[in-house]
Chain A
Amino acid sequence: MGSSLDVARWQFAITTVYHFLFVPVTIGMSAIVAWFHLRWVRTHRPEYLRLTKFFGKLFMINFALGLVTGIVQEFQFGMNWSDYSRFVGDIFGAPLAFEALLAFFLESTFLGVWIFGWGRIPERLHAASMWLVHLGTVLSGYFILAANSFMQNPVGYRFNPETGRAEMADFLAVLTNKVQLVTFPHVILSAYMVGGAVVMGVSLWLLRREAGTDDDRMYRHGVRVGAVVALVASLGVVVSGDLQGKIMTEVQPMKMAAAEALYDTTSHAPFSVLSVGPLDGSEATRIIAVPGLLSFLGTGDVNGTVEGINDLKGSERALAEKVVAQYGPQMAPLVLTDDYTPIVPVAYWTFRLMMGLGFLTMLLAALTLWATRGTRVPRARWWLLVAAVTPLLPVFANSFGWIFTEMGRQPWLVYGLMTTATGVSPSVSVAEVWVSMAVYTLLYAVLAVVEVKLFLTYVRRGAEPFVDPATPADAHEDAPLQFAY
């Protein structure tokens, strides 16, 4: 059966990775749909309305799953991780409450306005409502990433020996955590990459099908908007990712050492692009390595010194012992453990998959822009594959990035303050966690199949023909609604 700790961790991994397949699509596509809608209101050119409605539908099909799987996330901390919730709730709860109050209300309310607003509210307000949805998604991202950044690099707290928990000392410090300041742009820009890649891939597929017809121009526009968004965002992702690497080397050196499977402290450290073998430090296994690159990524200097896992084990233990010395022996069970090394192959490979898929997306977006310049249509059969794969690449890059971030932090739940093993709910039995995991997994699997089928059905259908939307003023009392469930 395993321990409830293992099952709870698997459950968190499954539900969170699944949830985050839909989140970046929601963030990225809401901006692009809002952009098309704005263009429609400004120009009243039919193609913009058709693109707005077409991508709006695809957006909604995706949004539904992001929404419902998000509720699970908020409940899960209390259900499976009650000791974690008790220990850091004073700090961690606040961003979650802010997220609900500032972001979820905005997002949900104005999405309702947007979906049902056709012909029922003034057109400028209607277009603005999708921008407000987008603002909601970005705010939501800010607060939840502030909460995660606290786990990566706890700041703005003090330990209260009376209550035996971490308490808020400086909320501004929590919101401006240096990890947060690089993570937020990295994640939001990655989401724009995803949104751009989805719009590009779908439009590219339809452009090939409709090339030469009246719809050629519209889908070409979709391809180019999507590709430009993906390309520009990916440049930002690279820059913010580089900054993040340097901050991580500073605040969680073990994670970066694991990312390179670097066991011994090295100056002018190489970065291995690929390797074979067990990555346990027993043999040199790198097959492609760029000299000095790891030092540069971590420290900004090709000759910089990067600490290795073997040395960091000691410093992690010293960190834990310092916490015990500082806050008292009651902290010992929370921070002391046998081994402070994350699972190195997981960290090593997810880090490479994240970057590799990201760079591939960037390349395909650039290639697509080139291939669709002027009135060109990429005809070769392999372009079908580009259209189908491009939307998926940055989605999975996001997943691998998160798996790296979270697995690379282990065994810590809150870095330097609480190990994962001590956060789990003591009153919940293994059987209960198994039941909930089975239920989520089955339900999510079924919903995924339904979602993908529906999404593809709507893609194949393409944009609907243009119908000039009536304004609220000229609708008579019994006229049918332009949209109803």
Chain B
Amino acid sequence: MDTLQLVWFALIGLLWAGYLVLEGFDFGVGALLPVLGAGEDAADTEKRRRVMLTTIGPHWDGNEVWLITAGGATFAAFPEWYATMFSAFYLPLLVLLVALIVRNMGFEYRHKRDDVTWRRRWDAAIIGGSIAAPLLVGVALTDIVRGLPIDRDLEYTGSLLTLLDPLGLLGGVTVVALSLTHGAFFLALKTTGTIREDARRLGTTLGAVTAVLAVVTLGWLGLLTGSAWSWATTVVAAVALLAAVAANARGREGWAFTGTAVTAAATVATYFLALFPDVMPTTLDGGRSLTIANASSSPMTLQIMTWAAAVFTPIVLLYTGYTYYAFRRRIGTQHIPEPVAVG
């Protein structure tokens, strides 16, 4: 294993962390639509839902690119990993894709007609997609760390049920719960009025549930494949989550959101540290694990990619940061304009 291989293993971890931190909150906002979006009457409900969707409106598309980039970077830096992983998770990835497709279409199309049935359908797409997608991402990442039956040719030999085992599903549910909490804290930070108060109240409950789930999942994984470093990040994740819940209870919304962001990043770090030095360990006797060393690209490809990442990542972070600055204002139901006059 040489330095550049290690750098790319870390960078792919960073991309996944960025994905869970960023898309995590927009998953949460989408999934909480029926809960925090419920108002006093139909008109209020509609306005609250529009407030919620508008807080993530300028950001969700950019957030999703972190997933695309994680996929692209894995393809380029670890082609064997990309090939084995994507063909192994065939049906879960199909469901993930459908979930992402319908929720994205929901964001784009929901507001384009003033029609109750139309909106209800797209709401279902947004809610369903925002729950299914983090669930599948959680299942897949947890399965990878736990290990899968991979043969000598680096081909997956299990079935769909191998992927949907208790630990994998628990990992999925944990990522969903974390996204919900993160989304609630995001809404508390980005809205005004009753949504803000409701989001804070709900966030505390969600945070407590997430803490339990996270401790069980990360503890279980830690006992299976943990290292000293992965235990350290597990502690960071747990402390950050508890701090986030405490900050939320005191009305420190910025700190609460930062806390769940750290939790998400530390969770991914735990996964990657537990994986190291493998990228896809095998559970098969006589099988072969994919490792950082045997799955990677040639030194030249890694070198080219490293230059590109060094130059362009700061630029991406800069303009991504700008969008959060440009749309920093809190939004309440009073800011929601009349719906478009298209029946």
Question: Smallest CB–CB gap between B99 and chain A, Å?
Answer: 11
The verdict on B109 contacting chain A, using a C-beta distance below 8 Å, is: yes
In Å, the complex CA distance between A11 and B80 comes to 23
The verdict on B77 contacting chain A, using a C-beta distance below 8 Å, is: yes
> Contact residue range for chain B?
35 or more
Given known A89-B76, A425-B87, A450-B109, contact A64–B104 (CB-CB < 8 A): yes
Q: DSSP majority for the B interface?
A: helix
- Select B297's contact among A60, A93, A116, beta carbons within 8 Å: A93
B88 lies within 8 A of A427 (CB): yes
The verdict on A82 contacting chain B, using a C-beta distance below 8 Å, is: yes
Digitize A89-131: 1 where CB-to-B-CB distance is under 8 Å, 0 elsewhere: 1111110111111101110111111011100110000000000
Contacts of B326 in A (CB 8 A): 113, 117, 120-121
- Select A68's contact among B60, B100, B157, B337, beta carbons within 8 Å: B100
A83 lies within 8 A of B109 (CB): no
In Å, the complex CA distance between A245 and B149 comes to 48
Chain A minimum-CB-distance residue to B100: A71
- Select A480's contact among B153, B155, B327, B334, beta carbons within 8 Å: B334
Question: Smallest CB–CB gap between B38 and chain A, Å?
Answer: 18
In Å, the complex CA distance between A204 and B327 comes to 37
The verdict on B161 contacting chain A, using a C-beta distance below 8 Å, is: no
Contacts of B97 in A (CB 8 A): 71-72, 75
In Å, the complex CA distance between A101 and B309 comes to 8
Contacts of B309 in A (CB 8 A): 101
The verdict on A478 contacting chain B, using a C-beta distance below 8 Å, is: yes
- Select B98's contact among A93, A165, A443, beta carbons within 8 Å: A443
The verdict on A432 contacting chain B, using a C-beta distance below 8 Å, is: yes
Question: Smallest CB–CB gap between A214 and chain B, Å?
Answer: 19
Contacts of A479 in B (CB 8 A): 335
Contacts of B60 in A (CB 8 A): 112
Given known A64-B108, A71-B97, contact A104–B69 (CB-CB < 8 A): yes
The verdict on A287 contacting chain B, using a C-beta distance below 8 Å, is: no
In Å, the complex CA distance between A435 and B110 comes to 28
The verdict on B117 contacting chain A, using a C-beta distance below 8 Å, is: no
The verdict on B300 contacting chain A, using a C-beta distance below 8 Å, is: yes
Interface residues of A in 225-241 (CB under 8 A from B): none
Stretch from A166-174, A195-203, A377-385, A392-400 that touches the partner: A166-174
In Å, the complex CA distance between A83 and B297 comes to 15
- Select B68's contact among A71, A168, A435, beta carbons within 8 Å: A71
Contacts of B297 in A (CB 8 A): 89-90, 93, 167-168
In Å, the complex CA distance between A372 and B224 comes to 74
A484 lies within 8 A of B87 (CB): no
The verdict on B156 contacting chain A, using a C-beta distance below 8 Å, is: yes
The verdict on B90 contacting chain A, using a C-beta distance below 8 Å, is: yes
Contacts of A78 in B (CB 8 A): 71, 75, 82-83, 85-87
In Å, the complex CA distance between A57 and B62 comes to 19
Contacts of A104 in B (CB 8 A): 65, 68-69
Stretch from A257-265, A350-358, A453-461 that touches the partner: A453-461
Chain B minimum-CB-distance residue to A99: B72
B59 lies within 8 A of A64 (CB): no
The verdict on B79 contacting chain A, using a C-beta distance below 8 Å, is: yes
A167 lies within 8 A of B69 (CB): no
- Select B298's contact among A167, A432, A478, beta carbons within 8 Å: A167
In Å, the complex CA distance between A108 and B313 comes to 15
Residues of B participating in the A interface, judged by any CB pair closer than 8 Å: 50-51, 53-54, 57-62, 64-65, 67-69, 71-77, 79-80, 82-88, 90-91, 93-94, 97-98, 100-102, 104-105, 107-113, 153-157, 297-298, 300-301, 304-305, 308-309, 312-313, 316, 319-320, 323, 326-327, 329, 331-332, 334-337, 342
18 contacts between A and B (CB under 8 A): A71-B101, A79-B94, A82-B84, A86-B80, A93-B72, A93-B297, A98-B308, A101-B312, A105-B62, A112-B59, A112-B61, A171-B301, A426-B153, A439-B98, A478-B332, A484-B57, A484-B331, A485-B50
Residues of A participating in the B interface, judged by any CB pair closer than 8 Å: 57, 60-61, 63-65, 67-69, 71-72, 74-75, 77-80, 82-83, 85-86, 88-94, 96-102, 104-106, 108-113, 115-117, 120-121, 160, 163, 165, 167-169, 171, 425-428, 432, 435-436, 439, 443, 447, 450, 454, 457-458, 461, 478-485
